[in-house]
Chain A
């Protein structure tokens, strides 16, 4: 059952990213390029995605567990720490340079050509070394 929901969710996610245009790097770079040819499409995507999710979070409040019996993820109420901010800044810089974030990088692999594969390969290497980099930078974390 949980594999079927993962399949449906992944298929919807990939379809949504493709339909919305987020797999086109120029759409993402256009959103971030406030001083150039600014493209507000990403705000529509983000706004659209929030609607079902807000409803979903409300529904979780009325359920004791997810359909597969798992507990819902607790809200992390801790404050924003240097790790969160540093990671987000590094991510934002890479996001702008290529115009890709993790979801769209996978959704665009089938047609994006060698540069998209290169991006994903580098991203996987980054993810592999992330725990080491993080513990070096934030010794107490």
Chain B
């Protein structure tokens, strides 16, 4: 468990560094939902190449690191309906709120943005309630 925390802290520092590079280099907030969403709905048409390069690098980095690790795993539910509904909620919700864990959470809270803090409070609360309901009461995830 302690090792997970150390890796979490180390990975977190690298995530923060990524956000710092994007902000100081390109003058942009490193928000994953905004970078992806701007491509999907066309609002980011003028900066499409920058967005595609960023997303491709996010996709590729774990492939490069993978050989250094053993037993990389993920534990997503195998219930396809849950996965589809979750994806739709994340897609609609992050665009409606104009940010997700990276934009509102990492970039927003670090500049003491009231909206970033409020968003983070509400998505964590909603996530916690969802866990209680769907894991402990309905037992579907």
User: Which residues of B, 43-86, contact A by the 8 Å Cβ criterion?
Assistant: 49-51, 53-66, 72-78, 80, 82-86
Pick from B84, B98, B134, B136: contact of A84, CB under 8 Å: B98
Q: List 14 A-B contacts (CB under 8 A).
A: A6-B53, A9-B25, A10-B58, A11-B60, A13-B15, A22-B11, A52-B19, A88-B120, A91-B123, A96-B128, A98-B77, A122-B86, A126-B89, A137-B96
Give the total of B residues in contact with A, Cβ under 8 Å. Answer: 106
- Determine whether the beta carbon of B11 is less than 8 Å from that of A18: yes
CB of A123 within 8 A of CB of B74, answer no
Q: Which of A94-132 contact B (CB under 8 A)?
A: 94-103, 105-113, 115-116, 118-131
Q: How far is the CA of A53 from the CA of B30 in the complex (A)?
A: 10
Tell whether A2 pairs with B25 under 8 Å between CB atoms, given A13-B18, A19-B65, A106-B32: yes
With A18-B62, A79-B114 already in contact, 13 other A-B pairs whose C-beta atoms are closer than 8 Å:
A6-B26, A9-B21, A16-B17, A51-B13, A55-B20, A63-B24, A66-B27, A72-B23, A88-B93, A97-B86, A101-B32, A101-B100, A102-B100
CB distance from A37 to the nearest CB of B (A): 10
Q: Secondary structure of the A side of the interface?
A: helix
Listed in ascending order, the chain B residues whose CB lies under 8 Å from chain A are 4-30, 32-33, 36-37, 40-41, 49-51, 53-66, 72-78, 80, 82-98, 100-102, 104-107, 109-111, 113-115, 118-120, 122-132, 134-136, 141
Residues of B near A2 (CB, < 8 A) are: 25-26, 50
Asked whether, in the complex, the Cβ of B28 is within 8 Å of the Cβ of A127, the reply is no
Q: Looking at the complex, which one of A36, A72, A89, A134 makes contact with B27 (CB distance below 8 Å)?
A: A72
Q: Which of B14, B15, B29, B56 has the most CB of A within 10 A?
A: B15
Residue ID in chain A nearest B95 by CB atoms? A130
Question: When the two chains form their complex, are residues B87 and A118 in contact, meaning their CB atoms are under 8 A apart?
Answer: yes
Q: Assuming A110-B59, A133-B96, is B8 touching A35 (CB within 8 A)?
A: no
CB distance from A120 to the nearest CB of B (A): 7
A140 at the interface (CB under 8 A from B): no
Residues from chain A with Cβ under 8 Å of B17 in the complex:
12, 16, 52
Across the A-B interface, the 5 shortest Cβ-Cβ residue pairs: A126-B91, A20-B11, A48-B12, A122-B87, A87-B97
